[in-house]
A and B are shown apart, each in its own frame.
Chain A
Amino acid sequence: MTSDLFSVRGLWRALTPADRIVSLALLLGSIALGVAARPSGEPTAAVVTVGGEVVATLPLDRDSRVEVQGRLSPVTIEVSGHAVRVTESACPHRICVRMGPRRHSGEIIACVPNALVVRLTGGAPDAGVPDAVTG
């Protein structure tokens, strides 16, 4: 560990075999997790929760806009062309707004300061219920 730590090559040399295996396993494992968590099929609704409580369910087959009260500020959520996005929020970093539109099943937009999550679900009637139990 006396190598140069300020170049990519130096950093690579500083990694022990165990370091490299762990890093690779984390990268591959994360991709596998992400793929496994994504339900198949087209999403039919965007479910909006604040602190785990469902506050709105927006069907994706028609354009709409709704304002909900988050923990910190009102948040505006818009459905347009089968995609959902957060268009306005007064949270500090506005990560939710900058995440842009989401259109695939299982994808989420999270606004942490507002404890708000927008989740795309596939059309079952109880799609708004958080799926805490997942075999």
Chain B
Amino acid sequence: MTTRTIARVALLVAVATTLAIAESLIPKPLPWLRLGLANAVALLALVRLGARAALAVTAVRVLLAGLLLGTLGGPTFALAVAGGAAALVAMVLAARAVPPLSWLGVSVIGSAAHVLGQLAAIGALFGAGRSVLTLAPWLLATAVPLGVVTGAIVVAVDRRLEAW
């Protein structure tokens, strides 16, 4: 990584961490609903800087948000790791898909992978087993449109960063 890339990754880490904390503080109409702006920053890193940068942004963001929210090492943190890792792997793979997906499609896959990763963690770590799948329709039905929205935000931001 060049110094320039490291500086940009650090900037995106700061933005992602801030958004993750902000999102955890905002009251939501449905308690489990989350727009996923922190993951959107990981996608922006993937779009502009590549897979390694997206990994760095996700890993450091999850760690910092855990530290600042006081969840580090606990069950909530385990789910953040599971969701973040699943979304990252899915988006990196989806970005190479044939036929090509747009960044909106990649975002949808990341959003869906995030909730599936979290469900898998609840099933495996908390003894819920396959019962977690009964939550899947609700979570995925909202994850898909929310993935489109966060993808659109990423594309819009990307366009305005042309000079970057």
Count residues of chain B with CB under 8 A from any CB of chain A: 45
A23 to B110, CA, bound (A): 11
With A14-B104, A22-B105, A71-B75 already in contact, the answer to whether A30 and B137 are too (CB < 8 A) is yes
- By a CB distance below 8 angstroms, the chain A residues around B1 are none
Instruction: Identify A34's interface contact among B101, B108, B136, CB under 8 A.
Output: B136
- By a CB distance below 8 angstroms, the chain B residues around A23 are 105, 108, 144, 147-148
- By a CB distance below 8 angstroms, the chain A residues around B59 are none
- Number of contact residues on A: which range applies? 35 or more
B122/A30 in contact, CB under 8 A: no
A19/B105 in contact, CB under 8 A: yes
Is there a chain A Cβ closer than 8 Å to B164's Cβ?
no
With A11-B152, A34-B133 already in contact, the answer to whether A117 and B126 are too (CB < 8 A) is yes
Instruction: Identify B134's interface contact among A29, A37, A114, A134, CB under 8 A.
Output: A37
Is there a chain A Cβ closer than 8 Å to B102's Cβ?
yes
Most chain A CB atoms below 10 A, which of B99, B104, B108: B104
Interchain residue pairs with CB less than 8 A apart (15): A5-B156, A6-B152, A11-B104, A15-B102, A18-B101, A18-B105, A19-B105, A26-B112, A29-B140, A30-B137, A33-B133, A49-B126, A72-B74, A106-B131, A110-B122
